[in-house]
Structure 1
Amino acid sequence: METTKTGVDVLFILLGAVMVLAMHSGFAFLEVGTVRKKNQVNALVKIISDFAVSTLAYFFVGYSVAYGTSFLVGADVLVGKTGTTFGAQGYDLVKFFFLATFAAAIPAIVSGGIAERAKFNTQLMATAILVGLVYPTFEGMVWGTRLGFQDMMKNAFGVPFHDFAGSVVVHAVGGWIGLGAVLMLGARLGRYRKDGRLVAVPPSNIPFLALGAWVLSVGWFGFNVMSAQTIAEISGLVAINSLMAMVGGILTSLLVGRNDPGFVHNGALAGLVAVCAGSDVMHPLGALATGGIAGAMFVWLFNLCQNKWHLDDVLGVWALHGMCGLMGGFACGLFGLEALGGMGGVSFAAQAVGTLCGAAFGLAGGLAVYGGLKAAFGIRLSDEEEFAGADLSIHQIGAYPEEATTMHDDGLAMSVHASNGPKRSAAGY
């Protein structure tokens, strides 16, 4: 029976890892549908390349930083045949796979904020540093035993900081890192006129944007439910709370965003981001309220960033992940209380302190990493490369190569190719 139980746990967390892995295609298509045509290939290549670099950085460095475990031992040790460090039947290996997909969400989140003007190679360098050192440090503080953070929280507030599935550890930290990256990069060319007025850049493909949101939403039930990490700890409460928060985010973003399809689909994600922390302790009505607040908050903050603050965060990752994740950490400490129908075992004060620590840690990490890379190598495409688009400038092919040849009014064909230096893009941006 013990062997069967362990096998079921291995399968359980493996399925969760696969579902979160699928979410990365959602990140990719959400970005593809939002950016202009001349940057769609770059969005796809960037997400999958970041995932590969993240996996290696987390395997060789990050997991050890977070949990003090190294995989540089014999395979018999890794599958629990020898020694006691690793669980039987390779449980800790699939646990690594699951947590690696979480870690890789950090550069995937950042990618949306810095889209359309970031250098490719320096972004891969940033990914290695973020997933190898920055993210796992805070992950280990909250989900591991690193730096005595949870002991300190328990001594101060009577309970540890609670973040069941990463509203703060993954989303807030990733979103605030993204804010630091956006600040270091600056706005896209032509995004704002000299008088400060915003130049509209509509999404290039709403169906792709919607597809990305749907894939992320479906995968999120693996992200949240499988955070239990064993079959004995699985809870239907996590599933229904995730559903209710998603619905709440959709409805409020639909209302506040005045039927805008981009806001509606991102509203679902805002609700899911916010509910991660307390999805195991909230009442479904608390989860609905959490998602509803997050959906409306995303619309308001996105517009504020773009129109008032001139913060050119292309996909609104600071508003979506940074601020909705922040709100989710606070909401856990409120709607998780028994007085509001929750399971209890949480403290609003502990949640406030832990959440603010996560935001500050993420912003400091983002500014340090991207500021350092900016000084050492540069992190932004040249004006000519940005004008031509990242697809041609970096990858030498566009998403629609049949449009790479267009006709002038005089009937002469003009070839658009980046090999001899970027010119005007096929899409005419």
Structure 2
Amino acid sequence: MTGLKSSADVLFLMLGAAMVFAMHAGFAFLEVGTVRKKNQVNAFVKILTDWAVSTVVYFLIGFPISYGISFLKPASDLMGPNQGYDLVHYFFLLCFAACIPAIISGGIAERAKFWPQVIAGAIFAGLCYPLFESLIWGQNASMLQGFFKSLGGAEFHDYAGSVVVHSIGGWIALPAVLILAPRMGRYVRGKSHPIPVSNIPFLALGSWILAVGWFGFNVMSAGNLEKISGLVAVNSLLAMVGGILAALVAGRNDPGFVHNGALAGLIAVCAGSDIMHPLASLVVGMIASLIFVYGFHLEQEVLKIDDVLGVWPLHGVIGSWGGITAGIFGQKALGGMGGVSFVSQLAGSLSAILFALASGFIVYGILNKTVGIRLSEDEEFAGADLSIHSIGAYPEEHVR
């Protein structure tokens, strides 16, 4: 029976890992559908390359930093008595770590150099993200979580990564976007000139893939079969639907807002999906969607920050909202399971913002001063596809 349980847990987490791995195709299609045709190949190659590099650095450096488990031992020891559970646990959590460069990719699209971004992604997935992960979920959690408990009476609660994954990724992206500066022609003499998306079906496909994979992201965060929660599944569903409906109204039927609204709801519910009431999750998703619709406008048109996919409001701000809202709607008085503190949730969310901003400004600041992170004007005008990969998304168009 013990062996059967171990095998079931390995299979459970392996299925979750496959679902979250598939989400990276969603990141790719969401970006490909948003950027111009001359930058579509770059989006595909960039996200796949970031995934591959993240796999290696998180295996060798990141996972040992986070959980104190090294895989530099014989294969027989890696299997151990639990059917290699640590290995598939690494695979599952790798999918979270690799989200960081995938999130950043959407913000810096169309004007970033290829290899400097690969280097930055490796640093974030192999070092920066694991350091914060270790303080919330991993081997060093007693340090920071002890502080939060003394401050608010409960540890910081982030069941599936609203803060640890999404907020960190979105707030790291902000320094990159600011240092890169806007794309050519995006703002001229202080006036905004929006650049239209290239492919609504690809954008929609990316959103759908992400939404389906998200149920692996959230539900399989239980870690093993006996802890699976139907509450997490339904909370994720209703938060996603709340995000869609709110974006439909606030975004005036705009397909970009509707499809990103689904993601806004899912990002916000990650932290408290195991403790909130389903109706509270619906409200959380609706508010998250409104944050994105109006936050995107504020970012692009008022602050004039050229964040191509709006990853700062979508992942950064809404990820922080998700962390804070677990401390509100997780309370028993509002139908939640309890055991959370608003003060601790606020403190944890703010600590992630500070950590991410510091990491982003340091890494991108150094890369910008040394190797440079932006394409030349000629390369940007020609497009990243031809400038970096020497081929366009539709090669027959270049045949003479």
Contact between 2:68 and 2:139, CA under 8 Å: does it hold in 1? no
Higher relative contact order (CA 8 A, sep 6+): 2
Match of 2:201 in 1: 207
- Partners in 1 of 2:86 and 2:299 — Cα distance? 41
Q: TM-score, normalised by structure 2?
A: 0.99
- Partners in 1 of 2:28 and 2:361 — Cα distance? 24
Which sections of structure 2, spanning at least 5 residues, go unmatched?
Answer: none
Point out the structure with max Rg over C-alpha: 1
Deviations 1:303-361 (A, max 9, x none): 11111111000000001000110100111000000000000010000000000101111
Match of 1:164 in 2: 159
Contact between 2:241 and 2:285, CA under 8 Å: does it hold in 1? yes
Match of 1:216 in 2: 210
- Partners in 1 of 2:313 and 2:150 — Cα distance? 32
Question: Could you tell me which amino acid in structure 2 is paired with residue 261 of structure 1?
Answer: P
Deviations 1:91-127 (A, max 9, x none): 0100000000000000000000000000000011001
Contact between 2:151 and 2:343, CA under 8 Å: does it hold in 1? no
Shift of 1:402: 1.7
Out of 246, 249, 259, which is 1:252 matched to? 246
Match of 1:293 in 2: 287
The yes-or-no answer on 1:76 pairing with 2:76 is: yes
Match of 1:304 in 2: 298
Deviations 1:137-185 (A, max 9, x none): 1111000131611122223322110000000000000000011110111
SS in 1 for 2:188: coil
Out of 259, 263, 277, which is 1:269 matched to? 263
Q: Identity of paired residues, percent?
A: 63
Shift of 1:232: 0.8
Question: Could you tell me which amino acid in structure 2 is paired with residue 32 of structure 1?
Answer: V
| Root-mean-square deviation over aligned CA pairs | 0.9
Q: TM-score, normalised by structure 1?
A: 0.92
Question: Could you tell me which amino acid in structure 2 is paired with residue 56 of structure 1?
Answer: V
- Partners in 2 of 1:360 and 1:181 — Cα distance? 15
Deviations 1:188-216 (A, max 9, x none): 0110111x111121110000000000000
Moved >4 Å (runs of 4+): none
Question: Could you tell me which amino acid in structure 1 is paired with residue 13 of structure 2?
Answer: I
Match of 2:321 in 1: 327
Out of 192, 203, 219, which is 2:187 matched to? 192
Aligned ranges for residues 8-407 of structure 1 at < 5 Å?
Answer: 8-81=8-81, 88-146=82-140, 148-194=143-189, 196-405=190-399
Higher helix share: 2
SS in 2 for 1:80: helix
Question: Could you tell me which amino acid in structure 2 is paired with residue 29 of structure 1?
Answer: F
Residue-pair matches, total: 399
Contact between 2:243 and 2:285, CA under 8 Å: does it hold in 1? yes
- Partners in 2 of 1:130 and 1:372 — Cα distance? 14
Question: Could you tell me which amino acid in structure 2 is paired with residue 167 of structure 1?
Answer: S
